[in-house]
Chains A and B, each alone.
Chain A
Amino acid sequence: MDAEMRKNIHRNIQHFSNVQNKRDGRLILRSILFLFPACSLLVVFFIGPILLTFYFAFTNMSLTGTTAQAIEFVGFKNFLYMFSDPNFRVSVIKTIIFLVFSAVIGQQVLGFILALLMKERNRTFRRVIGATVLAGWVTPEVVVAFAFFAFLNEHGTLNTMLQWIGIKPIAWLFTFPMVSVIIANIWHGTAFSMLVFQSALDNVPKSLEEAAIIDGATGWQRLWKIIIPVIKGQIVTNMILVTLQTLGVFTLIYALTGGGPGMATQTLPIYMYNQAFVNYQLGYGTAISLAMLLIGIIASLLYIRLLKVKV
Chain B
Amino acid sequence: MGLKEWLNAVKAEFEKQHPDVKVRFVPIQASEGDFFAKLALMVKNEQTAPDIVTEDTFMINSDAAAGNIDPLDKYINQWDDWKNFNDSVKQGVTAVDGKIYGVPYSTDTRGLWYNVNIFSKAGLPVPWNPKSWDDVLEAAKTIKEKVPGVVPFWANSGKATGEATSMQTFEMLLYGTNDTLYNFDTKKWVVKSQGFLDSLEFIHEIYSNGLGPELSQVLTGKAGDIVQTELMPKEKVGIVLNGNWVPGVWREGGPSPWPEGTKVYKLTAMPTQHGQDPGFTSMSGGWALSIPTKADNKDLAWEFIKLATSKEYNKLYVLKQGDLTPRTDVAQDPEVLNAPGSVTKEAASFIKFTHFRPGVDKYPAVSTAIQAAVEAVATGSLSPTEAMDQYAREVTRIVGSENVEVREYK
Contacts and interface: CB of A to CB of B under 8 A. Distances in A.
A151 interface: no
B364 interface: yes
A278 interface: yes
Contacts, number: 90
Contacts of B295: none
B373 to A, nearest CB: 11
Interface stretch (A19-27, A132-140, A232-240, A255-263): A255-263
A64 B66 contact: yes
A84 B379 CA distance: 22
A85 to B, nearest CB: 7
Given A62-B365, A279-B365, A261 B37 contact: no
B377 to A, nearest CB: 10
Q: How large is the interface on B (under 10, 10 to 19, 20 to 34, 35 or more residues)?
A: 35 or more
Interface string B105-149: 000000000000000000000000000000000000000000000
Interface string A1-31: 0000000000000000000000000000000
B214 A262 contact: no
A79 to B, nearest CB: 12
Contact of A84 (B68, B219, B362, B393): B393
A105 interface: no
B216 A173 contact: yes
Nearest to B375: A262
Interface string B216-252: 1001110000000000000000000000000000000
A63 to B, nearest CB: 5
A260 B65 contact: no
A68 interface: yes
A124 B154 CA distance: 56
Nearest to B41: A63
Nearest to B37: A277
Given A64-B59, A86-B390, A260-B158, A280 B365 contact: yes
B216 A171 contact: yes
A173 B393 CA distance: 30
B49 interface: no
B65 A68 contact: yes
Contacts of A263: 376, 381
A263 B371 CA distance: 12
Interface string B331-374: 00000000000000000000000000000011011001100100
B400 to A, nearest CB: 9
A122 interface: no
A174 B40 contact: no
A171 B220 CA distance: 13
B202 to A, nearest CB: 19
B398 interface: yes
B34 A64 contact: no
Interface string A270-296: 000010011111001000000000000
B216 A260 contact: no
A114 B408 CA distance: 62
B65 A66 contact: yes
A62 B397 CA distance: 13
Interface in B282-296: none
Contact of A278 (B368, B390, B397): B368
B40 A63 contact: yes
Interface string B151-194: 00000001110100000000000000000000000000000000
A81 interface: yes
Contacts of A274: 159, 368
B33 interface: yes
B36 interface: yes
Given A62-B365, A260-B159, A280-B365, A174 B216 contact: yes
A154 interface: yes
A278 B221 CA distance: 14
Interface in B61-115: 62-63, 65-68
A106 B214 CA distance: 31
B216 A280 contact: no
A66 B365 contact: no
Contacts of A171: 214, 216
A279 B364 CA distance: 7
A65 B215 contact: no
Contacts of A207: none
Interface of A: 62-66, 68-69, 81, 84-87, 154, 171, 173-174, 258, 260-263, 274, 277-281, 284
Interface of B: 33-34, 36-37, 40-41, 59, 62-63, 65-68, 158-160, 162, 214-216, 219-221, 361-362, 364-365, 368-369, 372, 375-376, 379, 381, 390, 393-394, 397-398
24 contacts: A62-B66, A63-B41, A63-B66, A64-B36, A64-B63, A65-B62, A65-B361, A68-B67, A69-B66, A84-B393, A85-B397, A154-B216, A173-B216, A260-B160, A260-B219, A261-B158, A261-B219, A262-B375, A262-B379, A277-B34, A278-B162, A280-B40, A280-B365, A281-B398
Nearest first, the 3 closest Cβ-Cβ pairs linking A and B are A68-B66, A174-B216, A171-B216
Given A154-B216, A262-B379, 10 more contacts: A62-B365, A64-B63, A65-B364, A87-B372, A87-B390, A174-B216, A260-B159, A261-B158, A261-B379, A279-B398
